[in-house]
Structure 1
Amino acid sequence: MQKEGKVVPLAAAIDRGGRTPLPCLPVLLLQVRDKAALQLRQGLQDLFDNADDTLFEMADKAFDRGDQNLYFEAMRDLRLKRKSIERGFLDTFYDAYARMGQVDPLARLAEPGDLRSKAQAERTAAIEGMVARVLSRDGIALQQLGLRLQALLDRPLYEQHNPLGPAALCGYFLEAGRNLGVGLRVKLVLLKLFERYVLRDADIIYGEANQLLAAAGVLPELPPAPRRRAEDRRMRARRGVAKLGQAVGPDAAGQALFASLQTLLAPLRGQFAPRLQAVATAQPISTADLLRLLSHLQHYVPATHEDEDFELGQQLEQLLLRVSVRSGTRRRIEVADEDMINLVGRLFAFIRNDDNLPASLRALIARLHIPLLKVALLDKGLFSRASHPARRLLNEIAGAAIGWECPGTSLRDSLHLRVERTIQRLLNDFAEDTSLFAELLEDFLAFNQDERRRNELLEQRTRDAEEGRVRARQARHQVQQALNQRLRGQVWPQVVVQMLVQSWSQVLLLAWLKQGAASQAWRDALQTMDTLLASITPPQAPQALLQKVPGLLKALRDGLASVALDSAATREFFLQLEQLHLRACAGTEGQPGSEGQRLSEVLVAEDIVLAIAEEPACAPLHVAHAQAAALRQVQRLRIGTWVEVLDEDEPLRCKLVARVDSSDRLVFSNRTGMKVREWNAASLAQALHRGEVRVLDDGLLFERALEAVLDELRQPRGV
């Protein structure tokens, strides 16, 4: 079961997904089916790979919280049901293919017109538009495929019975997603994605099927269908790659730089494959032959999870021995090529030991040793031009993935999969055409731009939340101060103290947060509290109290209603307040008796501290003199700086996303923008001083590696 994702058994895996055996169909039709299934499966994978980003963008743009929740719920459902939808789509496709020409593949989805709801009508209109666009582009190829299938089956095959028709493909998708708990808007979005990632390549399905059938002698006389769309797409891609790859080629500055480095590299000569290099009569092989040997080895680079010992020098030595035996002449590597092998080897040795990169990323990048070595042999400009596509691709991968947290195979996210796919593509396809790096760079930049924009949105939400927390703390401090000024050190009725601390504090908080300390709402809330306390302090003149009570009661009711205090609790408070007013008019203090329990009084002896959901992670610390350097380092940290936390079993990588100066807090998030740590400046300086946290160097990887290697080569050799 673990091999289903690999290339070789994919067709077999798809074939097992079919529900109906196909003994009645010719083998040629089974081949057409399998080719189409492979293409459809890839399109569905692309669809689901991009659905998350699309729905997230729509949720971010939605103004209504209900719409946001709708899209977030759809994202969750898609993740959970992705595999079942893919499997259901292929199962339905196989069923329709098994009964080709016998039934309408869309029969199960058809409904009487008078029973069709407005939503169904809108969905149908969307599908009809999608089908019309496919037919306008690829109608001729589809017609030819229908004629060939009809000739092979020896029975009529109407357009609606063709299991590869665009309407049928849409039907399979709708059938597979029937149990997906999403609304019409999300379904329409998914249909758009289906058109973009599956139906856009329908011409490839039809073209390959027609080519296979024509080669087998099924209506070979039909003229080839126009391949304008597919060819135009490929030509555009080649032109774009050519523009990016124009800079790749001989570079005078690169040649000069490498020539200057050869003097530094001279002491390393002879260390590589010494048994061959030391033979004076050995004939050097050309750079072209060396490239061919490297291309051969490139396909045997082990996967990162395998423990095979793959040392490039040993592998090349074995190949040179075989070449020497076959040719009958000792062969060796040219001096300049050996210098380049040593230089690139030192670069990758630095990368493999660079603890600024996650271990999993180092293992992946190490697989690029041979492709980068081949680029360096072909184009010395790799070392002199920061804009070189191979150099930029390495830097972009390292920069995008610096925040990885050593994910396991079951936890790999879209970025991890994209990096793996990019590196594997280079190992599979890169021979000597360096424009492949430019093509992959363009793809990775486009992908990473979307990934970065999504993470930046989440980081901004984290910053907004932190600013909100700071304001909440400031408001809480002001409210606590107001309450303590009026209540602390005095005896008050317990019911009043309880109401002010538990309920009226919320009225004050709301006024401060919404309108500020200078607002009329804040002053009115304070005035109401002062009036309440004054009204229950005996002795009170009945006439004066009667004049102030109506306004006081109205202000209290309005304020408590604004914080949604329970109506029963509000009614109970006002009943007891009436007793307090009567007692104040009588000029008596609370005495034990029938009302004593209800109107008991308390001494507010300590400061009132309001409850808050989340306290600061670190209390302020005194900075020791030995930590002064670490504190200066903290003060210089810029937004976006990565650190690694080493105080737990698994190291945690996080990025500084917010510096809240008013509360001396530094907030860090993981790569996806979720908050994971916070410190104040002193506590972070202490953690840095103790080695519990370290700042990562997120500079350009190739530049750092090259600078380190050059510094090492320039070191005087000797004792």
Structure 2
Amino acid sequence: MVSNHIDTMRNPRNLHSPASAGPVEILSSLVPVAAGAANAQLDAFALRLADALMAFSEQSLESKQANLCFTGAGLLRKNTYAYYHLATSAIADALRLEMQAVLQQIPQQLRQQAPAEAVNAELALVSYEDMDNKVRLGHIARPIVTRHVELLEALNLRFAALLGRDDFQLAQNPFRPEVFLGALNAAWADFNPEAESHPLLLPLLQPEVFLDMAPILQALNDALVGHGILPALGDSYRIRKSTNYVADQKREAQIAEGLRRMLTGEGGAPAGGGMTGIADIAGGMGGIGGMGGGLPGAGAAGIPGGAGVAGNLQSQLLQVTAVSNQLMGFLAGMQKTMLDRQLAGVGSGDHGSTAVLADIKRQAPAGALSQVDENTIDLLTSVFDLVFRDQNIATEMKSLIGFLQVPVLKAALIDKDFFFKQEHPARRLVESLAQSSMEWDGASGQQAPVYQTMKRIVERVQQDFDKQMSVFSEVLSELQGFIQQEEYAATETLQAPISKALRKEKIGQATKVAKNEVALRVGTGEVVAFVETFLENKWVPVLTVAYTLQEEKPTAVQNAVSTMDDLIWSVKPKITMAQRKELLAKLPSILARLNKWLTVVKWEEADRTRFFADLAETHASIVRAPLPLTPERQLELAVAVAKEAAERRLEKQASAAPEPQPDDYDEQVKNLERGIWLNFTDAHGGAMKAKLSWSSPMKSLFIFTTHRKEQTFQLTDAALAQRLREGSVQTVSLDRLVDRALDQVFASGANDPEIAKKSAA
């Protein structure tokens, strides 16, 4: 089974029928997937970039750089659509160019049905002459790669499997962050005519400003899974950010080395055959039969000693087989006894603890257990202990999972990959049962469909498992299919709240953009006070409506923004006759557009009449101001206006409340995944469990479902983060059980002489 699994991973042709797509077609189809996921973020990215440019202009000590960034920010805000068009083209061209390099390296025998032109299409459309060099791009991309290292690694593994390679490096990945960085930088160079501003962009593309690579990489992984490429990685490579990736990798390597020493020979890899592998005999730990040391008389170049040594080896193999058969026979008897007890419905509570595994060590026939076997039992005890101690898993569910202790022990003895590979079917079944146990509400009783499904799965494993791992895979598919059907059935209940939430988020995002548009203009301090108040209180709702209508009426935003800009222009001093004539000519149109938009937002209060009266008085004073003005007087007026604007700008900045800085709880909310369960408590001590059933595209709204599927409630990202800070909400962690158990074992093993002895050389 292990060799078949490895062969399937390394030979992608085993995953497809003859009529299915070949590697060239699959890889080519990924370009529009990645481009589409990136394009969906460009509007929000342009806003973040404009904010970053504006912030840099305010902080820069060089006036030229400050002016370039200020101008660039204004240009980007006023011409977002133009930048969007350039960016989408640049991303698509860059991805096609990178993909061409990958396709050209595919061996001819893997190109199957793909026509020749699929590889030699017009891909070299973008020039990188004006980009920064690769070293600089790599430096800028480093923190982005660190944030998404797991998704990138999963994608690389799938590429390797698809192409039949042993590995696939990040530098070869056509969807690595550097490619998107380069494309956005090239789009900026085409967009901004100021050549001196081009080098200023890359340093601003920090992870907080740059595209979120997670949905892009997730879409690519999902697309490959849809073609059958390593679907088992889906549970293992989630969107998780490691704050200390290097330390995590070092820790994992230490655990893996400790496992190898406990379960095989010194420094050896896990033996696929487990109980009867020669590595268990020849290794430094003695193997299943307790045979220590290595082969007597064996030399480095072979097995000297002729027939005597060969006979000794055959004798040892026979002893190991006999002992293995004795142990497996004992476990088979225990497995049948436990199945009989489960079917009879007696003693189920006894199996909600690891007493079963302890009994095996105590009751096994003399000589049946080697040191490796005992180590395996001890490690598995730690895994089941983690399940049985978890307060989030109901007692009845613990008992069900407890009935799997003997079959899972047999699986771990047969195949030590149980401890090394997250995709091991027996390991995934235990972890999936623990996670799925949260779906059961004790109030619904043992006749609930989820309980009956899990019970049937456990009985099937106990009854059918001997040495074929396929039993675990089959029941795992059954469990996953049941959970998916339950989630699909619950989607109808969620349709109405999801529609409302999407509308709410759309309005919220539109309001945020509208406030930014107004703030960009009033922040200069040049807008007269009553117009500034009007823009902040009344024009923000106008812009919000315009942005929400952008899909249906693409010109709405441009109309609303230009009306605002014209209003601001109309109340600025006009010191020449030509400027005043222009004002008089444009004024009817400006007032008409103002009134039209204010009617849309239903502003019919007395304040509206007062505003237009003040506006008329201001316009009249501008037109009636004395003319002509001498150049000296014009300069005096300009200086006075600039001074007043600077004072008002400083006053506004001093009175503005500082923006709250995101903390770890905000980051935790951003990384919550659909399907996770959370414990909610209230001020009166009440407690409730709820599942995250949906999160909005911008992660600003979350819909939770209780065990009663018809009961749903919503929380904003800010409200959820605050409840996490207060401790009234805690996430329920039931994933990666085996990893967490092993981490605890080896963390405590540093001070445990017995563990240290077992894992030592």
Please say whether Structure 1 and Structure 2 have the same fold, judged by a TM-score greater than 0.5: no
Structure number with bigger Rg = 1
Normalised by the length of structure 2, the TM-score is: 0.36
